[in-house]
């Protein structure tokens, strides 16, 4: 979640009271559009403000840092290369692997257990120095399957400096009626360091 500003300009309005209704429509939350504000603006004052939501946005209000170039890939069911593991070890646990070549950092989440039918993406943002890796799993247009599969999800960050970095891994299954699941860990881009 992040905080955003929305701006619209209405032209050639006369000074005086302007009835206004502000509506927010989140198209994928399975809820009707929500009226945020109903009231009047006194345009004769020239400017003003009104509180729409008094709750503290907390950490969601922090500005996102610049993010390095990135690319991602998702395996077919069964992973990229399960044969490279000893028999049974691939299915034994979900593992986050990393490799750093002096410039590019590749992260591979091996053996993520997800519904066999889904549209998956991996994106990275940087929030106050923490690289937030978000895996999104959304239903396909035809819906979900009645089975689960294991997948590998890979993302590569380019043009990084060596050293220790902090990573937060977030998985968002958009149709499970639960908030995104977060796992925070420390890693390093040094080839000699252990994750």
For residue 121, how many other CB atoms are within 10 A of its CB?
14
CB contact at 8 A, 157 and 131: yes
β-bridge pairing 70-74 and 148-157: antiparallel
Which of the 8 DSSP states describes residue 150? E
Pairwise pLDDT comparison (26 vs 194), residue with the higher score: 26
pLDDT 10s digits, 82-115:
545 556 678 888 889 999 998 899 999 999 999 9
* pLDDT tens readout for residues 119-154: 999 999 988 888 999 999 999 999 999 999 999 999
- pLDDT band at residue 69, thresholds of 50, 70 and 90? confident
Question: pTM here?
Answer: 0.63
DSSP state of 180: P
Task: Specify whether the CB–CB gap between 159 and 103 falls below 8 A.
Answer: yes
Residues in the chain: 195
Q: Is the dihedral of CA 171, 177, 179, 185 positive or negative?
A: negative
Average pLDDT over residues 37-58: 88
Are the CB atoms for 133 and 122 separated by under 8 Å?
Answer: yes
Dihedral sign, Cα of residue 87, residue 93, residue 99, residue 104: positive
**What tokens were used for 97?**
């692997």
109 secondary structure, DSSP code: E
Is residue 190 scored above 50 in pLDDT?
no
137 DSSP β-pair partners: 120, 173
| Torsions phi, psi for 138 (to 5 deg) | -115, 155
* Spatial CB neighbours of 124, under 8 Å, sequence gap ≥ 6: 67, 68, 70, 131, 132, 133, 134, 155, 157
Name the average pLDDT for the chain.
85
pLDDT at 50 over 50: yes
Cα–Cα distance for residue pair 122/137, rounded to 1 Å: 9
Q: For residue 58, what pLDDT is reported?
A: 74
Higher pLDDT, 156 or 92: 156
pLDDT at 15 over 50: yes
């Amino acid at each position: 979640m992040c905080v955003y500003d929305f701006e619209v300009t209405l032209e050639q309005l006369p000074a005086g009271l302007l009835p206004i209704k502000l509506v927010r429509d989140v198209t994928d939350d399975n809820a009707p559009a929500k009226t945020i504000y109903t009231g009047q603006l006194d345009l004769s004052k020239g400017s003003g403000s009104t509180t729409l939501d008094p709750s503290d946005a907390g950490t969601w209000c922090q500005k996102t840092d610049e993010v390095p170039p990135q690319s991602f890939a998702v395996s077919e069911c069964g992973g990229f290369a399960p044969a490279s593991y000893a028999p049974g070890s691939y299915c034994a646990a979900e593992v986050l692997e990393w490799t750093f070549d002096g410039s590019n950092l590749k992260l591979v989440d091996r053996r993520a257990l997800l519904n066999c039918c889904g549209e998956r993406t991996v994106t990275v943002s940087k929030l106050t120095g923490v690289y937030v890796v978000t895996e999104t799993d959304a239903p396909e247009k035809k819906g979900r399957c009645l089975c689960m599969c294991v997948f590998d999800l890979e993302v590569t960050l380019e043009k990084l400096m060596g050293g220790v970095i902090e990573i937060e891994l977030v998985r968002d299954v958009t149709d499970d009626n639960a908030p995104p699941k977060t796992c925070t860990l420390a890693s390093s881009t040094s080839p000699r360091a252990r994750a």
